[in-house]
Structure 1
Amino acid sequence: MDGLAGKTVIVTGGGGGIGGATCRLLGARGAKVSVFDMNFEAAAQVATDIAHQGGTAVAFECDITNRAAVDAAVASAEAQLGPADVLVNNAGWDVFKPFVQTIPAEWEKLISINLTGALHMHHAVLPGMAARKSGRIINIASDAARVGSSGEAVYAACKGGLVALSKTLAREHARQGITVNVICPGPTDTALLAGVAEGAANPEKLIEAFTRAIPLGRLGQPDDLARAIAFFASDDAAFITGQVLSVSGGLTMNG
Structure 2
Amino acid sequence: METIAGKTVVLTGASGGIGVFIARALAREKATVVAISRSHESLEQICAEVERLGGRGISIPFDISNLEGLSDLVQRIYELAGSIDILINNAAIEKYRPFQNYALNDIHSILTTNLLAPMELTRLILPNMINRNSGHVVNIASGSGKKGAPYNSIYSASKAGLIVWTDSMRQELTNTNVGISVVCPGYTKAGMFLKFGLSAPSLARVSEANDVALAVIQAIKQNQGEVIIDGILTRLLFSNIQLFPKFGDRIYRWIGLTKLNQTCAENQMRNENHQ
**If the TM-score is normalised by the length of the shorter chain, which range does it land in?**
0.7 to 0.9
CA distance in 2, matches of 1:247, 1:54: 26
CA distance in 2, matches of 1:197, 1:28: 27
Q: Is the 8 A contact 1:87 1:138 kept in 2?
A: yes
* Structure with greater Cα Rg: 2
1:138-171 C-alpha deviation (Å, 9 max, x unpaired): 1011111101111111111111111111111111
**1:245 corresponds to:** 227
* Identity level (%): 26
Quick check: 1:34 aligned with 2:24? no
CA distance in 2, matches of 1:197, 1:105: 25
CA distance in 2, matches of 1:25, 1:171: 28
| Aligned equivalent of 1:212, options 191, 202, 219 | 202
**1:112 corresponds to:** 112
CA distance in 1, matches of 2:160, 2:29: 31
The secondary structure found in structure 2 opposite 1:63 is coil
1:156-215 C-alpha deviation (Å, 9 max, x unpaired): 11111111111111111221211111111112222xx33x566xxxx44xx32x24131x
How much does 1:66 deviate? 1.6
Quick check: 1:178 aligned with 2:178? yes
Q: Is the 8 A contact 1:64 1:120 kept in 2?
A: no
How much does 1:220 deviate? 2.1
**1:156 corresponds to:** 156
The secondary structure found in structure 2 opposite 1:130 is helix
Q: Is the 8 A contact 1:14 1:23 kept in 2?
A: yes
1:208-243 C-alpha deviation (Å, 9 max, x unpaired): 2x24131x4xx2222111000011122xx14x3xx3
User: Which structure 1 residue ranges, 5 or more long, are not aligned?
Assistant: none
Q: Is the 8 A contact 1:88 1:139 kept in 2?
A: yes
- CA gap 1:249/1:211 in 2 versus in 1, 3 angstroms: farther
Bigger shift: residues 64-73 or 94-103: 64-73
**1:50 corresponds to:** 50
- CA RMSD for the aligned pairs? 1.9
**1:8 corresponds to:** 8
How much does 1:80 deviate? 2.2
Quick check: 1:222 aligned with 2:209? yes
The secondary structure found in structure 2 opposite 1:88 is strand
The secondary structure found in structure 2 opposite 1:176 is coil
Matches within 5 A, 1:46-125: 46-125=46-125
CA distance in 1, matches of 2:174, 2:31: 23
Matches within 5 A, 1:140-155: 140-155=140-155
Q: Is the 8 A contact 1:90 1:140 kept in 2?
A: yes
The secondary structure found in structure 1 opposite 2:88 is strand
**2:257 corresponds to:** none
How much does 1:68 deviate? 3.8
Q: Is the 8 A contact 2:4 2:29 kept in 1?
A: yes
Superposition TM-score, scaled by structure 2 size: 0.80
- CA gap 1:250/1:40 in 2 versus in 1, 3 angstroms: farther
The secondary structure found in structure 1 opposite 2:174 is helix
CA distance in 2, matches of 1:220, 1:55: 25
Bigger shift: residues 85-94 or 97-106: 97-106
Counting matched residue pairs gives: 237
- What letter is aligned with 1:232? A
CA distance in 1, matches of 2:107, 2:82: 36
CA distance in 2, matches of 1:149, 1:197: 17
The secondary structure found in structure 2 opposite 1:83 is coil
User: Which structure 2 residue ranges, 5 or more long, are not aligned?
Assistant: 240-275
- CA gap 1:148/1:250 in 2 versus in 1, 3 angstroms: farther
